[in-house]
Amino acid sequence: MMIYALASGKGGVGKTTLAANLGIAVSDQKRTLLVDTDLASGNLALHLGLKEVKNTLHDLLAGEKNPRSCIYRSREKLDVLPAGLSLKGFLKAEIARLPQVLRKISKDYEVILLDTPPGISRNSIIPLKCADRIILVTTPESPSISATLKTKAVASLLDRPVLGVIVNRVRKGFFGRGDEPSQIAKQLGVEMVGAVPEEEEIRKSVAAGRPIILMKPKSAASKALKQISLRLTAGG
């Protein structure tokens, strides 16, 4: 069993969209659990079209529910443990319980993907500590890369291995001649896990609650996501 944490130094890089799509792709090969550890503003369930979620990770971290009552089947071999949306639930949730929760449920899965909150805080650091491998997520813009360097430094302080970086929302014409997403990986000093192109269809898929990998499986983004998933199913 392998736990991967998708981590970004800032919000708005498309990390949750990546998590939803990678969860689907990985579940084609492995029993997979997606966990939304963004206690303050998690919306992974909405990305997967799960609208009726009564019990959530908030309840587990408050010690109020059984793990099985908070996990939802998204598709064959893919389960989801969503975060709650209420302020009351957020205030009761204790992120320090996350390692205990994951130990209880990990035996049922081959791969667990953690969608972590952006930035550097106690709520983001504890999920990173739970991971066997950390996958950095950035967009090509300088502020995002700079924030990602900070996340890499946190991973080092936690002594957690970084698998590499996914460069998301790569636009045509953004990079100069001879430049490409792999240069960002070199700048960060990590391996290139993959690059996902910016596509209008991705925004439409998010609005529809149907991930691009299902909505447009032959799109360039879907093909890139499937390639990334092969790294994860192979154990990194």
90-147 tens-digit pLDDT: 999 999 999 999 999 999 999 999 999 999 999 999 999 999 999 999 999 999 999 9
User: Average pLDDT of the chain?
Assistant: 94
Selection from 28, 48, 5, 16 nearest residue 169 by Cα = 16
Q: In sequence order, what are the residues at sequence separation of 6 or more whose Cβ sits closer than 8 angstroms to the Cβ of residue 228?
A: 22, 25, 166, 193, 194, 196
> CATH number for the 2-233 domain, one of 3.40.50.720, 3.40.1160.10, 3.40.50.300, 3.30.300.30?
3.40.50.300
Q: Are 216 and 24 in contact (CB under 8 A)?
A: no
Burial class of residue 159, CB neighbours in 10 A (0-12, 13-18, 19+):
exposed
Distance CA 2, CA 77 (A): 15
- Rounded to two decimals, the pTM is 0.95
> Is 50 exceeded by the pLDDT of residue 177?
no
pLDDT above 70 coverage of the chain, percent: 97
**What pLDDT is recorded for position 180?**
79
Across the range 74-97, mean pLDDT stands at 94
Total residue length of the chain: 236
The confidence score (pLDDT) of residue 125 equals: 97
pLDDT of 76 above 50: yes
Is residue 36 a contact partner of residue 57, using CB atoms and an 8 Å limit?
yes
Per-residue pLDDT of 40-58, as tens digits, reads 999 999 999 998 899 999 9
- pLDDT tens-digit profile of 143-171? 999 999 999 999 999 999 999 999 999 98
pLDDT of residue 235: 79
